[in-house]
């Protein structure tokens, strides 16, 4: 699979200086964690789940989570499990046994460790379409049982199954318990490093500890209690010294505009210059300007990718994940210097320092591998217009 494969090849050639590279579920987890991009959540009760997954893939979705936890009422759990097994078997049969032929990276969000082995046994050969499991409400106390169940199932089935623990418990957001909880989680995850693909953030649950919900015209970073938790998660679990993990951006849960209190967060000029005013209006009408703002802040705060709940979110997240020509130029210069030192950017607008900027440059090159490098002068607006299904004609 490859990002932006759903757009016209001739257009893709014009937009990219370096094309996104293909990847499979068997790739190195360090690459797959960045390649997740916008991870689309879907309730396990969807009656045409296999069709939904195939349609999402045609719209550029490269990772999905089938949720058996909070998205499912307790009374519907048994049906959700039966439906998941049946739909993933159908998907497996359609893929003729090749899960990399069009299907996104698929994960099952479960609610108990016992579900790992149970679902794997019920899926049988269709487990091939599953990349791993999302582990909710993750703490060191409960997480060890989840990770052991995952390891036992991987050994029993002979398949690599990756974990995405979700930091969303009240211990993670309360100031008096957060430091100890995250330190314990860091020690546990380090022992299971080969199993862990990425660490996810459950902003909805973190907010609920205070009876809060982020409005669509604010970002999660405007909610001080949750922002503090996110910063500490990155501080402890997202370090660039070899001990950290990819931390993914929290969910964006809005897909249609209500009454707005603040002005739109997108400047008109970039859209007008490309005669893309209708695209800007559609973004604003769908509250996607808030999503775009939040993704910028995610990246600035050390997060990679995003949890989304609607396919209309995916193009914006992926367009913002493409490495700009300027970023690539800076990173190449930094990595090309062995002994340290400072140099002016080739774009003559900043100072690049080889030692302190090296970790940034190395991470950026991983993103460039899977999302590509934009051609010189190509902007986010052009990438979004190409990737947006309504613009590209994909339905």
Structural domains of the chain ordered from first start:
24-314 (3.20.20.60)
On the 0-12 / 13-18 / 19+ scale of CB atoms within 10 A, 195 is buried
- Output the pLDDT for position 388: 81
- Output the pLDDT for position 206: 96
- Output the pLDDT for position 285: 53
- Output the pLDDT for position 340: 84
Calpha distance 200→390 (Å, rounded): 29
**Cα dihedral value 67, 308, 372, 131, nearest 10:** -10
Q: How confident is the model at residue 225 (pLDDT cuts 50, 70, 90)?
A: very high
Q: How confident is the model at residue 71 (pLDDT cuts 50, 70, 90)?
A: very high
- Output the pLDDT for position 395: 34
User: Which residues, in sequence order, are CB contacts of 296 under 8 Å at separation 6+?
Assistant: 320
Helices (H), ranges, 59-139: 77-94, 114-123
Q: How confident is the model at residue 348 (pLDDT cuts 50, 70, 90)?
A: confident
Closest CA to 394 of 1, 4, 15, 62: 4
- Output the pLDDT for position 274: 59
Q: Are 239 and 359 in contact (CB under 8 A)?
A: no
């Amino acid at each position: 699979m490859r990002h932006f494969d759903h757009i016209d090849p001739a257009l893709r050639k014009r937009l990219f200086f370096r094309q996104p590279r293909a990847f499979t579920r068997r790739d190195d987890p360090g690459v797959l964690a960045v390649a997740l991009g916008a991870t689309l959540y879907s309730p396990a009760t969807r009656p045409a789940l296999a069709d939904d997954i195939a349609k999402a893939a045609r719209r550029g979705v490269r990772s999905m989570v089938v949720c058996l936890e909070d998205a499912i009422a307790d009374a519907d759990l048994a049906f959700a499990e039966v439906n998941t097994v049946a739909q993933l078997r159908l998907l497996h049969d359609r893929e003729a046994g090749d899960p990399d032929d069009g299907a996104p990276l698929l994960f099952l969000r479960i609610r108990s460790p016992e579900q790992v082995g149970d679902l794997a046994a019920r899926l049988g050969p269709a487990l091939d379409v599953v990349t791993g499991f999302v582990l909710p409400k993750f703490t060191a106390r409960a997480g060890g049982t989840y990770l052991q169940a995952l390891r036992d199932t991987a050994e029993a089935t002979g398949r690599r199954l990756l974990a995405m623990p979700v930091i969303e418990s009240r211990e993670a957001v309360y100031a008096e318990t957060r430091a100890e909880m995250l330190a314990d989680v860091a020690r546990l995850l380090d022992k299971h490093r080969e199993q862990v693909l990425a660490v996810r953030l459950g902003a909805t649950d973190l907010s609920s500890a205070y009876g809060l919900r982020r409005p669509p015209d604010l970002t999660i970073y405007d909610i001080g209690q949750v922002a503090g938790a996110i910063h500490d998660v990155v501080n402890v679990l997202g370090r660039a010294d070899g001990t950290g993990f990819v931390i993914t951006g929290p969910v964006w849960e809005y897909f249609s505009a209500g009454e707005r209190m603040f002005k739109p967060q997108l400047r008109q000029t970039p859209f007008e210059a490309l005669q893309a005013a209708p695209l800007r209006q559609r973004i604003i009408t769908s509250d996607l300007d808030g999503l775009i703002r939040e993704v910028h802040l995610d990246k600035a705060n050390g997060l990679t990718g995003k949890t989304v709940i609607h396919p209309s979110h995916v193009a914006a997240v992926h367009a913002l994940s493409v490495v700009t020509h300027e970023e690539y130029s800076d990173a190449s210069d930094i990595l090309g210097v062995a002994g340290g030192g400072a140099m002016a950017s080739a774009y003559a607008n900043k100072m690049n320092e080889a030692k302190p900027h090296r970790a940034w440059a190395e991470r950026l090159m991983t993103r460039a591998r899977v999302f590509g490098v934009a051609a010189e002068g190509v902007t986010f607006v052009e990438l979004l217009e190409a990737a947006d299904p309504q613009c590209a004609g994909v339905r």
